[in-house]
Chains A and B, each alone.
Chain A
Amino acid sequence: MRSGEFHTSYRADMAIFDTARARRVLAVFLVVLFAVPLVGSSYWLDVLNRAAIAVIAATGLNILTGFTGQISLGNAAFLAIGAYSTAYLAAHGVPFFAVIPASGILAALAGMVFGVPSLRLKGLYLAMATLAAHFIVEFAVTHWDSVTGGVNGTSVPPPSVFGLALANDRTLAFLILPVCILTLWFAKNLFRTRVGKAFVAIRDQDISAEVMGVQVFRFKVLAFGVSSFYVGVAGSLLAYHARIISPENFPLSLAIDQLGMIIIGGLGSVLGSILGAIFLTLLPEVLRLLTSALSGQFPALVQLFAPLKLGVFGITIVLFLIFEPDGLAARFRRIRNYFRLYPFSY
């Protein structure tokens, strides 16, 4: 009977799956996940796709903010760059398997440019520089009419596989879910490599990291690049999913939502990005169901839905920060360990 975790080698310590059962559970989960698009209703498939896209974006942000410690308020801007790159490339007949990485790379380049100030700026000041990036990109998107369609937005042709257009949520899920899993798998492994460990060293103490031989500037810019690549890929999928994109799809509140996801999920945890993104995607849906269920007794609720959504988001963030600063991932780990080591957990 197990009574704790006893790793006897570095290999065991670094392993992604610490038990064979974890591996089996994940396999079953994946099978179930891919069965969902075959049976789900279109409403919940829409939610599923949006959640998967949010997971990719939140993972990207977590790489930058949670693992490398560089605060970014510019995520909505990088999403916009990914989405508009996709709109532009797809309209020019580039197939989706080239469009998605290309959008990621374009977003990564933009991210690296806006990451350059991180050499000198830290904390609040860096947050401000990325906030500026948001407004500058927003300005560009609204005014570069020939590429972005300006305030009216632009439409995106659906991706097609062998002449079959992935035009609804059911088929699109089979594009979005594999990309999501691929990016998560990469992120999970990234932090077992030298690069990932350099990121974490910079977060913990950048001057110490530099003293120990980590080239801080290079890795900070790289972190911006990797993170924005993720966000760009998410933006690309978002464009394919939304079909019509306009500057209104990328408000500052989107960047704040994504920061909320990694705070609620857990900073510096891939699992945390997943849980947080799912949590914050489901929250408005649950609220919507609740208000429509209660609208019979309280008709005023329907009008109050927008402020209610905003307020619940705000209070959730505040309560999580005060009572569970390590996020859902830490809570999940505690619960799992309780059952795993039962009855010898202490």
Chain B
Amino acid sequence: MEFFLQVLLNGLVVGSIYSLVALGFVIIFKSSGILNFAQGEFLLLGAYVFLAISSAHAPIGAALLLTFAFSAILGLVLERLVLRPLIGEPIISVIMVTLGLSSLLRAIVQGIWGTDTRPLPSVFSLDPIQLGPLPIARGYLYSAGCVAVLLVVLTLFFKYARPGIAMRATADSQQVALSMGISVRRIFALSWSIAAVVSAIGGILLATMRGGVDGSLAILGLKVLPAVIVGGLDSIGGAILGGLLIGVLENLSGGYLDPVFGGGVKEVAPFVALVLILMVRPYGLFGKVRIERV
């Protein structure tokens, strides 16, 4: 029972990070219908930029703000230069362009910072906190806190704020949104910069918890995909729940099945779950069902 609780708790806290990263995917998908395969590189770039700024002896707070500003501008620039020319192109082109972008960004990061793991200045202390009988890493609590705050903010944003409503309208139908006076271009740009900032937060949290930043951080961009899909690509709540579900599933299956298969179950279990869930519910648990007409 102790083991089960520990595994469950680990799953939940890891899942909260997945939720955070998944949010970045959903924000872009919700407005522009693009699944950004370069999300992992956004995490990576956020962490490295934070590292670069803070190693220039900037105070932590200022470094964080500058990193967010950089990410926001990065999102804007990429949307303008790379994604906008592809509006209206088939989905394979859009998938491929984000894959190409991910190679390019990873190459830039490798070229500048190399492949060694670099320690990040600590944003918070790494001592675990006792939660009843179970120890829990402090970083996970912060990330859970960030997720909770972002969940509330983003839900309110999409429900009440004008740009948020405009983003939903754009996702629903770009033509109708345009005819209602919404600047679809501005909405896309906005969603990319918000997603880049959310990813930078995730990247910094993760890198701090892992004790440093290196290229393997970007793999998370792929690992989170099952969470995004399971929750449904266009549901904020779904992304968060999906992240938690996948985190728990990963740790439970790893904890109990790894001895049977000799390791590695943790990596593959989310994808098995992904296939099964897609078979039953093709749009994820909370995704909007699209009715197709010819």
Contact = CB atoms under 8 A, between A and B. Distances in A.
Mutual binders A and B: yes
Interface of A: 65, 71, 117, 120-121, 123-125, 127-129, 131-133, 135-136, 138-139, 142-143, 205, 207-208, 211, 252, 256, 259-260, 263, 267, 304, 306-318, 321-322, 325
Interface stretch (B196-204, B237-245, B260-268): B260-268
10 contacts: A117-B278, A124-B95, A132-B272, A139-B267, A207-B293, A256-B99, A263-B93, A311-B103, A321-B89, A321-B96
B275 A117 contact: yes
B111 interface: yes
Q: Indicate the member of A128, A142, A309, A317 with the most B CB atoms within 10 Å.
A: A128
Nearest to B108: A311
Contacts of A308: 107, 111
A120 B268 contact: no
A309 B267 CA distance: 28
**From DSSP, what is the main secondary structure of chain B's interface residues?**
helix
Contacts of B283: 125
B183 to A, nearest CB: 22
B97 interface: yes
A306 B110 contact: yes
Given A124-B95, A314-B103, A322-B85, A132 B262 contact: no
Contact of A314 (B91, B102, B233, B278): B102
Interface in B248-294: 261-262, 264-265, 267-268, 271-272, 274-275, 278-279, 282-283, 292-294
Contacts of A135: 267-268, 271
A111 B217 CA distance: 31
Interface stretch (B69-77, B144-152, B222-230): B222-230
A249 to B, nearest CB: 18
Contacts of A211: 294
A132 B82 contact: no
Given A120-B282, A311-B107, A325-B89, A136 B268 contact: yes
A121 B287 CA distance: 13
B30 interface: no
A318 B37 CA distance: 13
Interface of B: 35, 82, 85-86, 89-93, 95-97, 99-108, 110-111, 222, 225-226, 229, 233, 261-262, 264-265, 267-268, 271-272, 274-275, 278-279, 282-283, 292-294
Contacts of A314: 100-107
Given A310-B110, A321-B86, A131 B294 contact: no
Contacts of B86: 321-322
Contacts of B82: 318, 322
A241 B264 CA distance: 29
B294 A207 contact: yes
B222 A252 contact: yes
A321 B100 contact: yes
Contact of A121 (B233, B261, B272, B282): B282
Nearest to B78: A318
A125 B106 CA distance: 25
Given A120-B279, A124-B233, A325-B89, A132 B226 contact: yes
B229 A125 contact: yes
A302 to B, nearest CB: 13
Given A121-B278, A135-B267, A139-B267, A317 B100 contact: yes
Q: Indicate the member of A143, A207, A211 with the most B CB atoms within 10 Å.
A: A143
Given A317-B100, A317-B103, A131 B225 contact: yes
B282 A311 contact: no
Contacts of B93: 263, 321, 325
A208 B101 CA distance: 34
Contacts of B261: 143
A133 B271 CA distance: 8
Given A120-B282, A132-B271, A143-B261, 17 more contacts: A71-B91, A117-B278, A125-B282, A125-B283, A127-B35, A128-B226, A132-B272, A135-B268, A135-B271, A136-B268, A139-B265, A259-B95, A307-B108, A307-B111, A310-B110, A311-B111, A325-B93
A135 B225 CA distance: 12
Given A124-B35, A259-B96, A304-B111, A129 B278 contact: yes
A211 B293 CA distance: 12
Contacts of A267: 90, 92
Given A135-B271, A256-B99, A143 B264 contact: yes
